[in-house]
Amino acid sequence: MANILCFFVLYIFLCQTPIEAYKTGFSVKLISQNSPNSPFYKSGKFHKHRLGSFYQVPKKSFAPFTRVTSNNGDYLMKLTLGTPPVDIYGLVDTGSDLVWAQCTPCNRCYKQKSPMFEPLRSKTYSPIPCDSEECNSLFGHSCSPQKLCAYSYGYADSSVTKGVLARETITFSSTNGEPVIAGDIIFGCGHSNSGTFNENDMGIIGLGGGPLSLVSQMGTLYGSRRFSQCLVPFHADSHTSGTISFGEASDVSGEGVVTTPLVSEEGQTPYLVTLEGISVGDTFVAFNSSEMLSKGNIMIDSGTPATYLPQEFYDRLVEELKVQSSLIPIEDDPDLGTQLCYRSETILDGPILTAHFEGADVQLMPIQTFIPPKDGVFCFAMAGTTDGDYIFGNFAQSNILIGFDLDGKTISFKPTDCTNQ
């Protein structure tokens, strides 16, 4: 998870059919919080101006098939946890590993609209001892007075979850309506949680490359650690939703597929790739204007809406955008800060950008690169940073079927209308 301009809610549904029926993989819907299919939907209650400036929100990053929906820049994933089952809606995050939910008792927790998970009421809940291999695989673990595996897991935006690692039964609701029991999954039962969460967030679903991430744990069930995602654009109709797929159902192939090497080390959380530069129309803007290009210089992160680039690279990119745009940038609106924004009642007919990853050119249309923070205004959905952590965010990832193959060490891209998946 990382910087946030709006929060797209990735909504993954997980429910009850033997996993054997889905040995090769399955897919799940990602349903937007603003969708009528969402339990948090409130007709007429969504206001674009609530998005504000995406610079103001700090970064959080560090073949089941599911539908995904948008919630102001994050994506929520729906899991069904425990026995009897309890629905959990967690933020989907390829920039972290831990799967966790708020649990009772929870004295130091952020406000949550839905009931919290009650581990003592679940017949399948099993806490993990602190001397176990699973406990030792998580950085920041300790031993509780009860000899259980206590954890403290932090994010770059200072959000923190503290609790106990446990095994629990997780169920997915697949896109064909069949519930899929994933069985024993290790998750964090968070008893003290704080940070930039809203009342609809019940936890985080870590999809990073580490051993405790959901994709790594699902890999033991499906024989390979891979998944794919197809995120609907921020501008998409609220009735549409994207998907997440695991196992063989996550295959990205066919016409238009391009592939780049995954530079991350084995077991490393972030998905690092090499971005050589970005073209504005036919004009190439290099990632580095002088020094040698570093491998693995940017992370692909579903938990961060905006794309974050080195400040000097970003400045050169914005100047080229201004040259190629016939519109006049907004300079008299203090709400927009230093963002590159234009006045327009419809999606901009601006220049097409191409992200040049190593061996893979990915075309980005204006619907992926400009977002409306308020009515009649569209702003460039990228930002400059000097902190050294560069991110290819989920606005740019929308309408692209992206396959993450941890075993094959590749990431593949295919232009796709994710609203029709």
* Structure tokens that stand for 157 in this block: 């935006």
Choose the catalytic residue: 74, 87, 93, 157: 93
Q: Residue 5: which of 316, 372, 399, 340 has the closest Cα?
A: 372
* Structure tokens that stand for 193 in this block: 């949680």
Active site (annotated) includes residue 93: yes
Name residues whose C-beta falls within 8 Å of residue 344's C-beta, 6 or more positions apart in sequence. 327, 376, 377, 378
- How far is the CA of 373 from the CAs of 81, 235, 343, 385, 396, in angstroms? 35, 11, 11, 20, 16
* Structure tokens that stand for 420 in this block: 């029709």
- Decide: 89 and 202 in contact? Cβ < 8 Å: yes
Distance, in Å, from the CA atom of 269 to the CA atom of 266, rounded to the nearest integer, reads 9
CA 60 to chain centre: 10
Query: How many angstroms separate the first and last alpha carbons of the chain?
Result: 24
Angle in degrees, CA 20, 416, 293, rounded to 5: 100
Choose the catalytic residue: 87, 97, 157, 301: 301
Residues catalogued as catalytic: 93, 301
